[in-house]
Chain A
Amino acid sequence: MIRIEPRQSSSALMTYGIPVFSAVISLLLAAIPLTLSGAPIGASYFEMFKGVFGSKFAFSEMLTRATPLIFTGLAAALAFRARLWNIGAEGQLYLGAMGAVAVGTGVFDVSGMFLIPIIMVMGCAAGASGMVIPTVLKTKFGADEVVTTLLLNFIILFFLQYMLEGPLKDPMGLGWPQSSPILDQGMLPTLMDRMRIHSGLIIALVCAVIAQFMLVRSVWGLKLRAIGENASAARHAGIRVNRTLMSAAIVSGALAGMAGVSEVAGLKGYLTSDLSPGFGYTGIVVAMLAGLSPLGVVAAAIFIASVFVGADSMSRAMGVSSYLEDLVVSTSLLCVLLGGFFARFKFVRVTQKKEVMQ
């Protein structure tokens, strides 16, 4: 008979080793679909590696890809810490992007020093609003936020299509459903010449550091962790659970909104309905790989972005379907879940020891 018993403590090796191990395993497992699609394994991995580390440009592309993932990863990590299941980062990202476009394309023709903060504040507010609604529905009516945030993603996408065909449509866009471009002075400055990498990355890193500090060292962070780990005890201790939940929702939604701001004002310049290839959903994977730790989110986002960029260039070179990247990313989530289990529990063989006669 085998029984599952909780470990009394988990070592640092477990805490940091398991996500790394899961990441490696999910990469190795990619060999199976590679073989099935007839690609040479060694060459494929080499192409994948080259796609990330092969040139300065490749590496900067990877960091460009990691930027929105850090934001959505932080959005998921902070919400999940409060046990608020925000699965709506995808929708909140688009809300943030719409907010940025709404104020950034000419309504305020001011200098960048003012316009960039205006764009960011508007984007954060729009993103936050996308999480405030489900949280109110949860606290006031008891509606499960998992389902409401998931469904809101679809509603927001329809709203986006309407906005891009109507109020936000670019009159110079030759009929394409896209927004007008963000004013030049409203764009986040790029970090390197001739590269797409932009200062959204710096903002993302600053957010991660602040989030980590606030979570561990602030009263707000303590309350957030308390309601997430044991809402009943937190309430008994005098913490206002719904209020704390709402603050977590606002921060989470705002961070997801920032992902949209950073993509539209840092990279694309204008908004289309395919701005995000699922950054919101991938953010959940990032957060889980990070063990819901804000600084871990940075590392996890870099890993996932490497998979995306590396597998993308590999699949073009080897003629493998680019859905391989999604496959690796989803496998890494399942692996880290499984790994998290081994960090917290151990299998114990329960046997009846034979007594030794003396």
Chain B
Amino acid sequence: MDILQILLSESFWAASLRIATPLIFGVLGALICEKSGVLNLGIEGIFVAGAMTGWMAVWLGAGLWGGVLFATLAGGFFGLIHAILTVPLGLSQHVSGLGVTLFATSVSYFSYRTALPTVTSPPRIEPFRPLDIPILSDLPFFGPVLFQQTAMTWLALFMVGLVWYVFNRMALGVAIKAVGDNPNSIDAQGLSVYAFRIGSVVAGSALMALGGAFLTMSAFDAFFFGMVNGRGWVCIALVIFASWRPGKALLGALLFGAFDALQVRLQTEVGALVPSQVFLAAPYVLSIFALVIVARSADYPRALLTPWFKGQR
């Protein structure tokens, strides 16, 4: 069958990993926020902000890694707004997150339009190139799949390991898990619940922004309106699917990437029989399915969505 051929092709798996990369950043970012007890629906807007800021920084001459840096700063900034509204002020995490998404999106669009008022076709930058590692890149199958990815994909994979290490091997990660389960456990030790939560949301948001930056600096070479197109929301679904585990988050992002890559290829195969929108909508439908399957058994951080106020135990 054709599907088998697709599944065995190197280009399919290389594409899957490429499509998964922004999701890996996004899921990890959302995971860090939620582990500390804060749902961050600002993710969609933070993706946009990361995409715009990273691209703009490169376009203004900051260099690719400069772009990465500015994207994380932008993500951290919008994360800080969400953190202040939801952590010390304890406001609705749902509404604040949506507010941050609207705000970050409109700030990004407004800045882009103000900087480039009249261009018809978006200006291009020189994006990240695939890392070509001698010998390794020539390995059959694994060579093209792994070693033709850009540095940002490698960064995403490294982040999976790093986040796992922090949560499973470091006192810091244990403390964040404790804050997301029972903030009083941290407060009783004289540590600041606010500091852990704000820190986690800012760090998680910075990571989310890298997901956006990948779009403009690695997957494409320009910024378009509407280019994030719900990827942030998909990440929120994937975190639940991953039961807040970094390893499973990688798996979830890869599955989604593979499915997305598959639908593009299937479209060319059987596009005449099935409307293209079916394929385009399929990844979103899949996300809802994944959510429904795991929802009942999901191991929510106990304190998720619950504000905590100092001195009110």
Q: Please list the residues of chain A having a beta carbon within 8 angstroms of any beta carbon in chain B.
A: 3-4, 33, 36-37, 85, 87, 137, 141-144, 146-148, 150-155, 158-159, 161-162, 165-166, 281, 284-285, 288, 319-324, 326-327, 329-331, 333-334, 337-338, 340-341, 345
Contact = CB atoms under 8 A, between A and B. Distances in A.
Contacts of A281: 98, 102
Contacts of A87: 98
A337 B81 CA distance: 12
Contacts of B92: 337
Contact of B95 (A150, A152, A154, A284): A284
Interface string B232-257: 01101100100000000000000000
A284 to B, nearest CB: 6
Interface string B282-296: 001101100110011
A18 B96 CA distance: 17
A159 B276 CA distance: 10
Contacts of A158: 277-278, 280-281, 284
Contacts of A153: 230
Contacts of A152: 284, 288
Given A326-B106, A330-B99, A85 B288 contact: no
A346 to B, nearest CB: 12
B291 A147 contact: yes
Nearest to A335: B99
Nearest to B281: A158
Max chain A Cβ within 10 angstroms of own Cβ: one of B102, B233, B310: B102
A151 B241 CA distance: 15
Tell me if B's interface is mostly helix, strand, loop or mixed.
helix
B114 interface: yes
B293 to A, nearest CB: 8
A327 B113 contact: no
B109 interface: yes
A232 to B, nearest CB: 14
Given A154-B230, A284-B98, A326-B106, A337 B295 contact: no
B106 A330 contact: yes
A281 B99 CA distance: 10
Given A166-B275, A330-B106, A143 B113 contact: no
B237 A151 contact: yes
Contacts of B262: none
B292 A333 contact: no
B281 A154 contact: yes
Given A3-B311, A143-B295, A337-B91, 11 more contacts: A142-B298, A146-B236, A147-B291, A155-B284, A162-B275, A166-B275, A281-B102, A327-B107, A337-B85, A338-B85, A341-B91
7 contacts: A137-B295, A158-B278, A159-B281, A319-B117, A334-B96, A338-B91, A340-B91
Given A141-B296, A330-B99, A330-B102, A148 B291 contact: yes
A146 B291 contact: no
Nearest to A327: B106
Contacts of A144: 240, 291, 295
- In the A-B complex, the 4 residue pairs with the closest CB atoms: A321-B113, A330-B102, A326-B106, A158-B281
Contact of B277 (A137, A147, A161, A333): A161
B200 interface: no
A330 to B, nearest CB: 4
B281 to A, nearest CB: 4
Contacts of B280: 158
B9 interface: no
Given A3-B311, A147-B291, A154-B230, A159 B277 contact: yes
Interface string B16-31: 0000000000000000
Interface in B146-179: none
Given A141-B296, A338-B85, A36 B281 contact: no
Contacts of A148: 288, 291
B105 interface: yes
B102 A333 contact: yes
Nearest to A350: B311
A4 B310 CA distance: 8
A341 B56 CA distance: 35
Contacts of B51: none
B124 to A, nearest CB: 21
A77 to B, nearest CB: 12
A333 B102 CA distance: 9
Contact of B114 (A37, A151, A155): A37
A284 B99 CA distance: 9
B101 to A, nearest CB: 8
Contact of A330 (B94, B103, B114): B103
B88 interface: yes
Nearest to A284: B98
Nearest to A80: B95
B206 interface: no
B91 A147 contact: no
B240 A341 contact: no
B240 to A, nearest CB: 7
Given A147-B233, A159-B281, A323-B106, A337 B95 contact: yes
A252 to B, nearest CB: 15
B110 A326 contact: yes
Given A148-B288, A155-B284, A166-B275, A329 B91 contact: no
Nearest to B279: A158
A35 B85 CA distance: 27
Interface in B94-150: 94-96, 98-100, 102-103, 105-107, 109-110, 113-114, 117
